[in-house]
Amino acid sequence: MQKQAIQEATLLASALWIAGPTACGKSRLAMQLAKSCDGEIISVDSMQVYMGMDIGTAKTSKEEQSSVRHHMIDLVKVTESFDVAQFRKEALAAALDIAQRGKLIIFCGGTGFYFRALLQGLGKGPPSDPVLRQELNDWPIRELCKALESADPETYASIDRSNKRKLVRALEVVRLTGQSFSSFKPETSLSPPGSGKRFWLLERAAPELRKRIDDRVDKMIESGWIDEVQRLMDLGLREGSTASQAIGYGHIMNYLRGRNSLDATIDEIKKKTWHYAKRQRTWFRHQICGDTIDMTMASPVEHIRHFMTSIS
């Protein structure tokens, strides 16, 4: 196990890491870097693993994927579950494949939990129990919060209480083990992946980022996001599933069921996306020891390439 850990650490230290909040320009920057540095991209996004969830997750297009190879995209159906343990295993396998072919590994995404799993490893929590998880998935968020607050106050105080998927997993662990969810977290702290300028946190001023989010949501709607959700519902996407927790999908499902107007749905998606982006910014600033890069600078790609050259 120690040998494997050393091999993983060496592999991760050789990679380039691009992280930041939604709509900050991660995918475009990663594409430019991959083309200029002969690299391939590993998506660090908990929802891009689902087939058919293209517009709402801002997945790179098929044309873009044909010019730069992407990994950890379109792995499972929306009716299936996909967890962080599966992600870590398959992402590391993809990274090893990229390295063995002599190309640059580029991790790019905004799911902090997945970044943490790659850098820290996983806690020793129990595997998922399908029956219990299905039961908890059927609970409304307010009931999950109430149960977690009673069973595990420490986790309740720190968890994102709007994220049903995290609430369900925390309660699942408590129910299965009788111990707090926090007791299973990895003991190590996050550290930079290797030495030098390897981990880059993308930043934009709050007003600019919010406008980009609003504009992107409008463009997604215009590009057929509602039709995409309807197709996925026809394929079995339902409330409470892991895939339905992606921002916007549940809101559009409610709209399609006549529970909300389109204008109210769009406004709520914009608000939820902005709140999520703020949480991402805070998490990355406090949890990742990376180098910040202002995305309004003249050429962020050349800025990163300059530092990569200096440490190679």
Distance CA 140, CA 58 (A): 27
Per-residue confidence band for 2, with pLDDT thresholds at 50, 70 and 90: low
Q: What is the pLDDT of residue 39?
A: 96
DSSP letter assigned to residue 60: P
Mean pLDDT for the chain?
Answer: 89
Output the six-digit token pair for 224. 């057929």
pLDDT at residue 134 in the model: 81
- Residue 311's pLDDT is 56
What's the pLDDT at 312?
56
**Model pLDDT for residues 266-282, shown as the tens digit of each residue:** 999 999 999 999 999 99
Task: Say if residue 96's pLDDT is above 80.
Answer: yes
Asked if 105 and 95 count as a contact pair (C-beta separation under 8 A), the reply is: yes
pTM of the model: 0.84
Q: How would residue 186 be classed by pLDDT, with cut points 50, 70 and 90?
A: low
Which of these, 300, 213, 220, lies nearest to 30 by C-alpha position?
A: 300
**Cβ neighbours of residue 266 closer than 8 Å, sequence gap 6 or more:** 217, 218, 221
| Strand locations in the chain (E) | 16-19, 39-44, 70-71, 104-109, 199-203, 291-294
Options 1.10.20, 1.20.272, 3.40.190, 1.10.3470; CATH for 130-184 is 1.10.20
Question: What is the tens place of the pLDDT at every residue in 33-91?
Answer: 999 999 999 999 999 999 999 999 999 999 999 999 999 999 999 999 888 889 999 99
Bridge-partner residues for 87, per DSSP? Answer: none
45 half-sphere exposure, CB direction, 13 A CA radius: 33
CATH dotted code for 2-123+187-311: 3.40.50.300
What is d(CA 77, CA 71) in angstroms, rounded to the nearest whole number? 16
In the chain, what are the domain boundaries? 2-123+187-311, 130-184
pLDDT at 196 > cutoff 60: no
